């Protein structure tokens, strides 16, 4: 059985048993192989826009003898994918704006797909796109890997609640506020806002909101 990094393991853990998964931007195909080896899925489409990463994926599939259950496809995002038969789409390890462009080009996904998203940047842009375009983020969690904290979210079609500016950047507080890593994540986001605040009024406003959230969090007195 292959070993997943904490970040990839946290993404893979959100796949429902029996799911038929498209892993977009698969590169090394670690998640598809793990899903097949664990029996969580018996059918995965692993795609990438670049031939090099898809060759990495092909080597991994060959090495692990999972080729009868993993199909590889060179394509941009979800382009050319038959909507029939897929119920889960993973987008991990790419920027939030790339995710927005992939989802915008595949409006069919909103009707039937559970998204599992691990954006590396522009998370507020991604959350705003989702909630303004018929998606509801139904779960957010944080995972730590090699000193970095990564948000991972799932979304499906639905009506989203209202988000504050801070929640667009952090995630909905009622979903993420109780995460064991939330305090550390909030501190990291505050540090970024402190650096940007002198020349960016939006960052200064966010810093104020983050400060209020931090003050509302009561320390554990055990
Ligand atoms: C940093 S790797 C992430 C690999 C893996 N998903 C992970 O999380 O470790 C990003 C991958 O996304 C691919 N990619 C970027 N834009 C893409 C797009 N529009 N469609 C498909 N793949 C894309 C890149 O070629 C690259 O292999």
Q: What pLDDT digit, counting tens, does each position of 13-23 carry? A: 999 999 999 99
How many percent of the chain have pLDDT more than 70? Answer: 98
With CA atoms as reference, report the closest residue to 171 among 138, 194, 211: 138
Q: How far is CA 203 from the centre of its chain?
A: 23
Output the residue whose Cα is nearest ligand 1's atom 3.
Answer: 93
Strands across the sheet containing 44-48? 70-74, 44-48, 21-24, 88-94, 114-119, 148-157, 135-145
- Nearest ligand 1 atom to the CA of 50 is 25
Kindly indicate whether the domain formed by 6-160 is annotated with CATH number 1.10.10.10: no
Residue 148's CB is within 10 A of a number of other CB atoms, namely 11
Q: What atom of ligand 1 comes closest to residue 94's alpha carbon?
A: 10
How many Å is the Cα radius of gyration of the chain? 18
Among 49, 55, 118, 150, say which to mutate for ligand 1: greatest number of ligand atoms within 8 Å of CB.
Answer: 49
- pLDDT tens track for 32-51: 999 999 999 999 999 999 99
Residue nearest to atom 13 of ligand 1 (CA): 25
Distances (CA, A) of 203 to 145, 150, 164, 209: 26, 20, 14, 10
d(CA 137, CA 195): 29
For position 220, what pLDDT does the model report? 62
Distance 28 CA to ligand 1 centre (A): 10
Nearest atom, ligand 1, residue 91 CA:
6
How far is residue 90's CA from residue 24's CA, in Å, rounded to a whole number? Answer: 6
Write out residues with Cβ below 6 Å of ligand 1. Answer: 8, 24-27, 47-50, 53, 76-77, 92-94, 98, 102
Q: Give the list of residues 6+ apart from residue 215 with CB closer than 8 angstroms, or none.
A: none
Indicate whether 218 pLDDT > 90: no
Greater model confidence, 184 or 218: 184
CA 48 to chain centre: 16
What does the alpha-carbon distance between residue 95 and residue 209 come to, in Å, rounded to a whole number?
A: 24
Taking the CA of residue 53 as reference, the ligand 1 atom at the shortest distance is 27
Nearest CA to ligand 1 atom 8: 93
Q: For residue 112, what pLDDT is reported? A: 84
Higher local confidence (pLDDT), 111 or 146? 146
**Pocket test residue of 33, 45, 48 for ligand 1, highest count of atoms within 8 A of CB:** 48
- Ligand 1: centre distance to CA 144 (Å): 20
Q: Residue ranges of the domains in the chain?
A: 6-160, 161-222
Overall average pLDDT of the 69-85 stretch: 95
Contact between residue 49 and residue 75 where contact means Cβ atoms under 8 Å apart: yes
Residue 219 pLDDT greater than 80, yes or no? no
pLDDT band at 217 (very low <50, low <70, confident <90, very high): confident
Residue 181: what are its φ and ψ, rounded to 5°? -95, 0
Average pLDDT, the chain: 96
Of 24, 112, 37, 110, nearest to 74 by C-alpha is 24
């Amino acid at each position: 059985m292959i070993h997943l990094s904490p970040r990839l393991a946290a993404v893979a853990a959100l796949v429902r048993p029996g799911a038929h998964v498209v892993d977009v931007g698969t590169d090394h195909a670690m998640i598809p192989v793990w899903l097949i080896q664990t029996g969580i899925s018996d059918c995965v489409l692993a795609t990438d826009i670049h031939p090099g990463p898809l060759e990495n994926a092909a080597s991994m599939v060959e090495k692990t003898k999972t080729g009868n259950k993993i199909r590889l496809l060179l394509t941009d995002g979800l382009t050319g994918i038959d909507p029939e038969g897929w119920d889960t789409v993973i987008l991990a390890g790419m920027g939030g704006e790339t995710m927005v462009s992939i989802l915008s080009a595949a409006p069919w996904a909103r009707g039937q797909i559970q998204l599992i998203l691990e954006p590396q940047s522009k998370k507020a842009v991604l959350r705003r796109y989702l909630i303004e375009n018929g998606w509801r983020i139904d779960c957010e969690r944080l995972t730590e890997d090699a000193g970095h904290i990564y948000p991972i979210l799932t979304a499906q079609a639905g009506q989203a609640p209202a988000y504050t500016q801070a929640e667009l950047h952090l995630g909905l507080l009622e979903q993420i506020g109780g995460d064991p890593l939330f305090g550390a994540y909030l501190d990291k986001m505050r540090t970024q806002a402190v650096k940007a605040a002198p020349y960016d009024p939006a960052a200064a406003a966010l810093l104020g909101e983050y400060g209020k959230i931090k003050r509302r969090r009561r320390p554990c007195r055990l």
